[in-house]
Structure 1
Amino acid sequence: MDFKFRYGPWALVAGASEGTGASFARQLAARGLNLILVARRVEPLTALSRQIETDYGVDCMAASIDLTQFDAADKLAAIAGDREVGLLVLNAGADATGARFLDTELVNWEALVMRNVMTVMRACYRFGGPMRDRKRGGILLCGSGACYAGFPGIATYAGTKAFDLIFGEALWGELQPHGVDVLNLIMGRTDTPAHREIMARQGLALPPDCASADDVATLGIERLPHGPVCNWGLDDSDAGFAGISAADRRRRIAQIAQLAFSGKDTIDE
């Protein structure tokens, strides 16, 4: 199926002002998709939107939305309006707190959970339904290797990413029979402005093995039809740091889905 037909005509990219989000935006525009770009900081978002329109000749709109707010998903749906969003990229979600669980105010963790759990779930509900009705579309959840274990120092962040992983796998099992692709793109250390800022606050240098934002976005787009999981730096059949390979996770979820559906739907591995 043609990429633009399968995932277009519009893509909504949350967390698009810089880093991997901006890379996703440029690469999707290069494939002919119109874009709705969302982030909190309006200035870089607007500049990126104008540059994309100039460089790629697609329609591109920018919206400043705080994804930690209770009504964030409602605002995403409102800004999309009657545009047909065929691809939802949920890229926002870094932990900028830099503190252990008990060493900062609870409100900071509540905001992180709202953005990485509640807004993710609500946005998938808002945009996934029309995709299922059209029998095409895609949802790309940008995750972290922290989802595979309890990491001291980033307890809440790791917990939210673990939710996203399991939620995304189950969503893949439910939507894949209807032509909608879902991918958890599990990223490792990536060279982004946000990551550089966090490392600088801790007095640490950026590790030399960081992935580039462009390479990570390229992988996510390439692997989108082959969900539910893609681990950065690992082959599909390689368990590595994940403990179980993406291929084995895919087979397991497919088997669970077949049992759950009891023959009412089928799913391809």
Structure 2
Amino acid sequence: MSHQLALITGASSGIGATYAKQLAARGANLILVARDAARLNALAQSLRDEHGVEVNVLAADLTHHADLQKVDREIHENTRITMLVNNAGMTVEGEFIEGDIAQIQTMLTLNITALTQLAHSAAQVFRARRSGTIVNIASVLALVSESANSAYNASKAYVLSLTRNMNRELVDSGVRVQAVLPGLTRTEIFERAGKSINDLPAEMLMEVDDLVSAALSGLDAGELVTIPSVEDISLWQRYDEARIAILPYISLNKPASRYLS
């Protein structure tokens, strides 16, 4: 992977920092993007020292338009970039209706708007080169409506749907696309949302190194959707088959008979 240059958003901690470490161990060069320049620089130096790879830092808050444009330009102008790990994201404390709408809107800006723009740019650039990889970090909550903040779940369902459709558009283009759906993972996202990770059931909490290792293995195997904790892959396959089975019936010229009087 020594010829690879991966741009990773949300790279100062958690899943993003772990992608940086594991990709560097594979020999990839890196561009690390996050708000905290000091943490990025410390991580970058440790990766240079340990793995001898090239690591550059791009400090940016992707909820700010000017910073998002700066990262977007990097994707368009740096012809060496071969991989985007679209990881930056956040959640908010509490339920949707009782939540702070300003915080929810900031979350949607990061989880949807910023991710969409960077995915769009990377897809255009990589398709023109007929080579590249785009990894969008979603969540298992994309499949869940019964818990957590509904706006967060919806934002991750968007990421999953976007990735599926990107894959459809990029078929035979030489560009690989993957959606990663983590479950509960030991990262800082909970504390930032005002929660304690110690309140989570240990049997549901995956270590971030294990998560990223599984995600990269799924990428190596050519998976479009990777759910690291699901042992029986047929569960996901049946879920997806049921989704596909309804498609011929969702748009017809007459209502279903139960609605006819």
TM-score (norm 1): 0.81
Quick one: which of 197, 201, 207 aligns to 1:207? 201
Change (3 A) 1:219 1:152: closer
TM-aligned CA deviation for residue 243 of structure 1: 6.7
Structure 2 residue aligned with 1:84: 80
Structure 2 residue aligned with 1:131: 126
Following the alignment from structure 2 to structure 1, what is the Cα–Cα distance between the partners of residues 219 and 61?
Answer: 26
Letter in structure 1 aligned against 2:44: S
**Cα deviation 1:108-137 (Å, max 9, x = unaligned):** 111111111111111011111121122111
Change (3 A) 1:154 1:179: same
Structure 1 residue aligned with 2:143: 148
Structure 2 residue aligned with 1:228: 224
TM-score (norm 2): 0.84
User: Tell me, which stretches of 5 or more residues in structure 2 are unaligned?
Assistant: 249-261
Following the alignment from structure 1 to structure 2, what is the Cα–Cα distance between the partners of residues 152 and 72?
Answer: 33
SS at 2:69 equivalent:
helix
Structure 1 residue aligned with 2:255: none
Following the alignment from structure 1 to structure 2, what is the Cα–Cα distance between the partners of residues 152 and 36?
Answer: 35
Tell me if 1:30 matches 2:18.
no
TM-aligned CA deviation for residue 79 of structure 1: 4.0
Structure 2 residue aligned with 1:13: 8
Q: Is the 8 A contact 1:17 1:45 kept in 2?
A: yes
Tell me if 1:107 matches 2:115.
no
TM-aligned CA deviation for residue 71 of structure 1: 4.2
Change (3 A) 1:121 1:151: same
Change (3 A) 1:79 1:180: closer
**Cα deviation 1:201-247 (Å, max 9, x = unaligned):** 4595242121111111111112125232111211473326x9715xx
Change (3 A) 1:78 1:4: same
Larger Rg: 2
Following the alignment from structure 1 to structure 2, what is the Cα–Cα distance between the partners of residues 199 and 92?
Answer: 14
Tell me if 1:244 matches 2:235.
no
Following the alignment from structure 1 to structure 2, what is the Cα–Cα distance between the partners of residues 172 and 99?
Answer: 33
Q: Is the 8 A contact 2:93 2:194 kept in 1?
A: no
Structure 1 residue aligned with 2:179: 184
Would you say how many aligned residue pairs link Structure 1 and Structure 2?
A: 243
Tell me if 1:69 matches 2:64.
yes
Structure 1 residue aligned with 2:154: 159
Change (3 A) 1:221 1:104: same
Letter in structure 2 aligned against 1:76: V
Tell me if 1:42 matches 2:32.
no
TM-aligned CA deviation for residue 175 of structure 1: 1.4
Q: Percent identity?
A: 26
CA RMSD of aligned residues (A): 2.6
Change (3 A) 1:214 1:176: farther
User: Tell me, which stretches of 5 or more residues in structure 1 are unaligned?
Assistant: 257-269
TM-aligned CA deviation for residue 55 of structure 1: 0.8
Following the alignment from structure 1 to structure 2, what is the Cα–Cα distance between the partners of residues 203 and 77?
Answer: 33
Letter in structure 2 aligned against 1:86: T
Change (3 A) 1:47 1:57: same
Structure 1 residue aligned with 2:257: none
